[in-house]
C-alpha cells in the first residue's frame, strides 16, 4: 500500500517504492521476452506478456507516466542485455503501446478493473506497435500493397496475443486489492 509519507523519487511523481515496482514490471517483461525467445518464434507472441505487465503496472501505480516509465526501462534494459538489435526502434516499439495505455488511463482512470476495457486497450496498443515496423518499411520504400498485407498479418497476431494477455489483468488486480496489497483503485488521477 502507498504510504502518504513517501518522498517523490522520480519526476516529482513516483516514490522510490513505486519506481522500483515499475522497474520490476520491466524486469518481468524482459524475462518473459527472453524466455519466449528460447521456445517460440511466432509473430506477435511478445505482446502477450508485454501488455499483461503494462496493464498490471497501470494497476499497481495508477498515475500518468507509470506505463511510459515501464516502457522506457524495458527498452533501455533490452539494449543493455543484448536484446535490442533495432536500436531506436526498440524504444519506439515499447513506448508506443505504453503511450496508448497512458491515454486510456487518462480517459478512464479505473479501466484496469474492467475486462472489456483491458482487452480493448491491449488489442489497440498491440496493433499500434506494428506501426513502428510498418513506418520503417514505408521509409525503405516497400510497396504499399505488400506493406499493408504484412502489417495486417502482424497487427492481427499482435492484437490477438495482446488482447489475450490483457484479459487476465482485472482478476489479478482485484485479488491484490482485496488482500490490501495495492491501493483500492484511483478515485481520479493523482
Partner 1 sequence: MHRLGAGWKIAVGTVLSALAVGARTPAELLALVLVTLCYFFAARLTLFDLWRDVRYLVLQGIVVTGLYCLVHGVALGLWPGIRTSVQIILFYIPGAVFLRTTRSRDVMAGLGRVIPYRLCFLVFVCVRFVPYFLREIEEISAAQRLRGARLLPRQLLNPANWPDLFNCLLLPLMVRALKTADEVSRSAEAREFGIRKQRTFLAVCAPSKTGSPANNEPPAAPAEEPQLCRHQNP
Angle subtended at Cα 167 by Cα 46 and Cα 83, rounded to the nearest 5 degrees: 15
Rg (CA), the chain: 17
Q: Which of 108, 114, 172, 183 binds partner 1 (CB under 8 A)?
A: 172
User: Which stretches within 61-114 are classed as H helix?
Assistant: 66-80, 88-107
Tallying the residues shown for the chain, one arrives at 190
**Do 156 and 116 form a contact (C-beta atoms < 8 A)?**
no
CA distance 57 to 53: 6
Please list every residue from 83 through 112 that binds partner 1, using CB under 8 A: 84-88
Residue 80 lies near partner 1 (rule: CB under 8 A):
yes
- Shortest gap between Cβ of 107 and partner 1 (angstroms)? 25
Please, which residue, 74 or 126, has the CB nearer to partner 1?
Answer: 74
Helix (H) or strand (E) holding 9: strand 8-10
**Do 33 and 83 form a contact (C-beta atoms < 8 A)?**
yes
Q: Which of 47, 55, 56, 127 binds partner 1 (CB under 8 A)?
A: 56
- Options 93-101, 107-115, 120-128, 164-172: segment touching partner 1 (CB under 8 A): 164-172
Angle subtended at Cα 51 by Cα 41 and Cα 2, rounded to the nearest 5 degrees: 140
Please, which residue, 59 or 107, has the CB nearer to partner 1?
Answer: 59
- Shortest gap between Cβ of 146 and partner 1 (angstroms)? 5
Count of residues of this chain found to bind partner 1 when the rule CB under 8 A is applied = 58
Residue 171 lies near partner 1 (rule: CB under 8 A):
yes
Q: Which of 65, 99, 115, 150 binds partner 1 (CB under 8 A)?
A: 150
Binding mask 114-143 for partner 1 (x = CB under 8 A): ----------------------xx-xxxxx
Amino acid at each position: 500500500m502507498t504510504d502518504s509519507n513517501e518522498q517523490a523519487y522520480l519526476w516529482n511523481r513516483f516514490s522510490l517504492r513505486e519506481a522500483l515496482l515499475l522497474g520490476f514490471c520491466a524486469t518481468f517483461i524482459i524475462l518473459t521476452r527472453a524466455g519466449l525467445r528460447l521456445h517460440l518464434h511466432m509473430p506477435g507472441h511478445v505482446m502477450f506478456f508485454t501488455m499483461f505487465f503494462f496493464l498490471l503496472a497501470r494497476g499497481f501505480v495508477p498515475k500518468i507516466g507509470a506505463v511510459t516509465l515501464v516502457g522506457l526501462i524495458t527498452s533501455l534494459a533490452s539494449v543493455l542485455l543484448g536484446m535490442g538489435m533495432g536500436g531506436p526502434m526498440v524504444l519506439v516499439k515499447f513506448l508506443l503501446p505504453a503511450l496508448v495505455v497512458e491515454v486510456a488511463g487518462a480517459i478512464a482512470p479505473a479501466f484496469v478493473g474492467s475486462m472489456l476495457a483491458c482487452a480493448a486497450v491491449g488489442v489497440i496498443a498491440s496493433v499500434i506497435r506494428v506501426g513502428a515496423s510498418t513506418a520503417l518499411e514505408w521509409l525503405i520504400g516497400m510497396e504499399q500493397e505488400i506493406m499493408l498485407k504484412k502489417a495486417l498479418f502482424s497487427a492481427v497476431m499482435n492484437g490477438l496475443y495482446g488482447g489475450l494477455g490483457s484479459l487476465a489483468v482485472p482478476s489479478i488486480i482485484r485479488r491484490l486489492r482485496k488482500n490490501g496489497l495495492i491501493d483500492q483503485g484511483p478515485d481520479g488521477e493523482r
